[in-house]
Amino acid sequence: MIKKTKSKFISRTEEYILLAVWRLKDNAYAVTIREDLKTTTGKTWAFGALFVILNRLEKKGFLESRMSDPTPKRGGKSKRYYLLSSQGVRSLVEVKRVHNTVWAGTEDLPLMP
């Protein structure tokens, strides 16, 4: 008997955040992630909710983070920069594959009803 392992999809919100981190590359920290999300989704994201999800994604192994050196411009505060782990990249690739498969054959669906 072959045992199948269950893999769980990431949520749509997690997908959006991982994609923002991917787009921002070396400049992915909370403020820039939030700005990217607002630009791409048209919605304002609360910092509290964003931090909760970033922490969860890091605990799940989808993100890695590092603290920057304190910057005089920001009053000596450090920033936490995020980057996708290899697991995060694989997860996004899988979500994109499934998304494309699920939407296949719907090209005639109107963009705006």
**The domain spanning residue 66 has which CATH number?**
1.10.10.10
Please say whether the beta carbons of 17 and 60 come within 8 A.
no
Q: Please provide the average confidence, as pLDDT, over all residues in the chain.
A: 90
**Banded pLDDT at 38 (limits 50, 70, 90):** very high
SS (H, E, C) 84-104: ECHHHHHHHHHHHHHHHHHHC
Q: Assess if residue 44 is contained within a domain.
A: yes
Please say whether the beta carbons of 30 and 80 come within 8 A.
yes
Q: What pLDDT is stored for residue 92 in this prediction?
A: 96
Q: Assess if residue 112 is contained within a domain.
A: no
Q: Assess if residue 109 is contained within a domain.
A: no
Q: Which residues constitute the domain of residue 44?
A: 12-101
Q: Assess if residue 23 is contained within a domain.
A: yes
Q: Assess if residue 79 is contained within a domain.
A: yes
Task: Tell me how many domains the chain contains.
Answer: 1
